[in-house]
Amino acid sequence: MNETPTSVRLDIWLWRARFFKTRALSAKMCESGHVRLERFGTVSRVEKSSQAVKPGDRLIFALGSRLIDLDIVGTGERRGPAPEAQGLYTLRDAAAKPTD
């Protein structure tokens, strides 16, 4: 019985979605306080990489000189190829793309 989890740690999700090349880099970004999480209309600053995220959440963060604004649509089970990773989110700004 292999079911997709309903929530996952934010650092793991950012890594699986291929926004960061390593989990350590994604954890560092989370703990820097530069990630915003919107859930049920409430926006909060994420300060722990262990923050749980789930489909329906919105993330806003800067990646290089770009502002990434996305909706989470899946948690994933692994860090797969780019097309699989792109299925985990929907960008609100079509111009923003991950660099990996």
98 occurs within a structural domain = no
Q: What is the CATH number of the domain that holds 67?
A: 3.10.290.10
Q: What is the pTM of this model?
A: 0.85
56 occurs within a structural domain = yes
pLDDT at 56 exceeding the cut of 70: yes
pLDDT value at residue 90? 95
29 occurs within a structural domain = yes
For residue 44, what are the CA distances in angstroms to 2, 77, 82? Answer: 32, 26, 28
Q: For residue 85, give the H/E element and its range.
A: helix 82-86
pLDDT value at residue 1? 47
Instruction: Report the pLDDT averaged over residues 24-41.
Output: 94
26 occurs within a structural domain = yes
97 occurs within a structural domain = no
pLDDT at 69 exceeding the cut of 90: yes
Cβ-Cβ contacts under 8 Å for 68 (sequence gap 6 or more): 19, 59, 60, 61, 62, 91, 93, 96, 98
